[in-house]
Structure 1
C-alpha cells in the first residue's frame, strides 16, 4: 500500500527548471505543503521544523513532472484473441500495472484516449495503487467498420453491448453519437475521442479513409461543449483532419499526413496537435516479434516517415504541440523515446513545453500541472543534468532520474 502523502516537504540545493520560459535557476529551494507547491526561491532555504522531511538535491535539476497526452493503459497486448478472454478485473490489473510503470518513468499525468475508465482513475486517486494522474476519456467513438470496430470480417453480429472494458464503442448516426457522447460524459470522461479516419492498428481500413460525417462530428462537438468538455480526433490524412477542424474539434491525434490547409486550420482554431512518432518507430522495429498482425505491420510505412516531417512543419508554423506516445502492448516501455525522435526537428525547450505547459493547457489544467508556480500540484522530477541542454537526460532514467514526486510524495 502506498504511504500517505506527507503534509510538507522541503527540497534544497536544487536548480529549478521553469518550462514556460526555459529558465534554469541556481542554488534554489522549493517547499511543498499539502501536496502543492507552497513556495520557492534562491539562496538560503527557510528553516524547516524537525518533522518536515528535507530532500537535499545536491545541485540536481527539479522540474515539473511529465505529461503524456496520448496513452492507452488498457491495451497491454497485441493478441486480440487472447485478450478477448480476459475478465474485466484481470484487464484492469494489467492496465494499472502499466500506469505505475509510466509514473516511475517520470510521467506524473497521463491522458488516456481510449480504454481507461473512472474506476481506474479512482483507484489511483485514492492511493489504492500507484500511478500518474489519470485524465480519462472513456471509450472512443467509432463508426461501423471504423478504426475502433475490430470484429473479424466474418463476424456478422452486432457490436458488443459496451459493458466490457474496451478501447472503443460503435455509434452510427447523429442520434447514436449524441447518446454515446452523453453516456461517456455521464461516466466521468474529461474529453471525447472520435475515430474519424483509418488507422495503423486497425486491420480492415485504410489510413486515408474518412470515417464519420460532418453532421456526426458536429453533434459530438455540441455535446462536448454542453458538458464543458472537448472533442479530440484520431486522424492521419488531411481529408479527415481538416473535416474535423472545420467542425470545431479542439485537438488532433497523429496528423502525420497534414497539409497546408491543416496548418492553417490548426492555427485559425487555436487547436492542438498530438504527434505520436515513437509508436510507429517501435512498431516498425519490434512489432512483429511483439505479436502485431501482418496487415497492421504493412501500414506503418505510410505514416512513419511522414510523421517527423509533419512535426517539423507544425513546429515552424507555431502550432500548439503536445507530447504523446500511443504505444501499445509490450512496446509501452519505450515511452521516453518520443523525446529522442522529436529532438531531430525541435529544440529541447520546445519539446519540454509540449510535455508540460502546453499539455496542461490542452487538459485545461494550466497552473495546476506542468509548472513550478506556487499553488500547482507538487508533481516533480529530480534529475541529474540539464534537459534544456540535453533532452536525453530524460530518456535515460536509470542514469539521471533520482526521484519522482507526485503530490508531494516521493515515490
Structure 2
C-alpha cells in the first residue's frame, strides 16, 4: 500500500484529504493544529463579529474514517531523494506527497512593516487584533491620546476591504460600550495602487468605497508606505500617520520552504506544477493552494484564492488515486471553474460578481453566506453542514 502524506490542513489540503477518504485511500495528514480554520472569514473575527473559535472545525470532525491519521506537528524540511519529511518532533516517510502548507505575509521589503504591524494569518493573530483594538480604546479613556483611537489598515485588496467593513460596524458598538464619542475614531486604509478591490469591476469598487466612507472610513489610495516605526507609518508624499493600531493586509507569498528546497518557483515563492498539479521537479509530489504556481488556459497564473485551492484539492485527490493504482492515463488536467469574487462590507452588505453578473448590497451578502454553506457541504456533507451552519454561518 502506498504511503501518502499530506502537508497542511488548509483549503487545498483538507479538500484533498476529504476526497482521498471518499476514494478509500489511507494517508497521514500533518497540520500545525488539531483544527482547520476558515481563513477567508478571519476578517470577521479580527473585526469583532464573533469569537475566533467559531471559525475553526476540529479535523477529526471532518476526517472520520480509520484510513486517515492526523499528526499535529510542524514541517522542518523534506528530503526528496529519501522521500522523507522531517517534523519538529519526528520523521515520516512517503511514496507520494501532497504539499499544501500555505502562505506567509508579503512585506515587499518595507522596513519595519513585519516588526511593527499586526496581520490576519491565523486564529491567534485574528484574536490578537481584536483584543489589541479593545485594549487601546480602553487605554484612551485614561490617557486621552488620540493615537489610541486611530487604526491604519495597509492594503485595499479583498482582505483589507472586508476587514474595514467589519471594523466600521464593530467600532461604533465598542465606543458605545466604553462611552467614547465615535466621531473621534480615525480609521484609515492606505493603498499604493490607484484603486481598491482590483478583483471586482470598477463600478462595484465605487459602491464599496462609498459604503465604507459613509460609515466613516478614510480611503487613501495611490499612497505608498515607505517605512513603519513603532506606532507610526511613514508615507511617500504625505505626512506620517501616528496610530496605536497598524494592520497589514497587503499581500501573501508561499511558505519559503519551497524555495529553500530548490523547487522551481515564481517571484511569490510558489512552485511550478504540471497540468495535473504535480511538481515539475518531482512527479511524486503534488502541490496545491497558495503554494502552487499554476497557469490558466491563457498562460496567466491563477490567483491564490480559496475557490481555486479547494478545486485543486479535489483534482489532486483524484489524480493521486489514479496514479497510486497504476492508472496514470486517467489523470485529468486541472481546469478551475471560477465563480467570481464576493467581498463582504459588513454583516448585510457586499459587492462582487457571480458568474460574471455584478451583485451588490444584501444580494451580494447573501451570496457570500451561501459560499460558506457550499464549502461546508463539500468538506463534510450534510452531517458537517448541519452541525456547523449555526456556529460558522449565522454568526
Q: Shorter chain as normaliser: what TM range?
A: under 0.3
TM-score w.r.t. structure 2 length? 0.24
Q: Which structure has greater strand proportion?
A: 2
